[in-house]
Amino acid sequence: MRRTYRGDGIEVSFDRELCTHVAACLLGLPAVFDIDRRPWIAPNAAAPDEIARTIERCPSGALQYRRLDGGPEERGPEPPDVTPIRNGPLRVRGRVEGRRAGGGGEALPRASLCRCGASENKPFCDNSHLRIGFRAPGELIHIEVSPVRPAPDRPITKEADPRP
């Protein structure tokens, strides 16, 4: 379920079900994104431009924004581009319509799509590729240790994620 956090200049939304725990937000802008604070997103704690730039680095589309200050909305590449991540998902940059197997869907500005076949949230990656030891060629990405990733190959579970 997507939750919304409204600031003066920008509105941020987050869907925990889509998060792949790369922590681009927590590591990129800790004044705004703090897993130990409630609410965990403080959209007035940085300039809207800075928040927008950080959110655009979220590969899953779990984080999105809407400008309230007249600033530019996110514009991904058109048509979208798709990159296979080594031993992981397909990273999509650009607008994608995601329709879940159980019904429901959402237009996302970015997405990480499962290519290992094991996700329980298809078509989205839910990090099951780590559990099954999926191996496939692709772009290497560096994932840092963070509050949601105690080891690079060990993200916390959705159940253990304290964010609403």
Asked if 62 is part of the footprint of ligand FES (rule: CB under 6 A), the reply reads no
Options 24-32, 75-83, 125-133, 142-150: segment touching ligand FES (CB under 6 A) = 125-133
Asked if 91 is part of the footprint of ligand FES (rule: CB under 6 A), the reply reads no
Asked if 125 is part of the footprint of ligand FES (rule: CB under 6 A), the reply reads yes
CB 119 → ligand FES: shortest distance, Å? Answer: 4
Residue type, 28: G
Asked if 89 is part of the footprint of ligand FES (rule: CB under 6 A), the reply reads yes
Q: Are 32 and 45 in contact (CB under 8 A)?
A: yes
CB 114 → ligand FES: shortest distance, Å? Answer: 3
* Selected binder of ligand FES within 129, 148, 149, 155 (CB under 6 A): 129
- β-pair partners for 2: 15
Q: Are 149 and 157 in contact (CB under 8 A)?
A: no
Within 8 A by CB and 6+ apart from 133, the residues are none
Residue type, 95: R
Report whether the peptide linkage leading into residue 39 is cis, meaning its omega lies within 30 degrees of zero.
Answer: yes
**Residues that bind ligand FES in the complex, under the rule CB under 6 A:** 88-89, 114-116, 118-119, 125-129
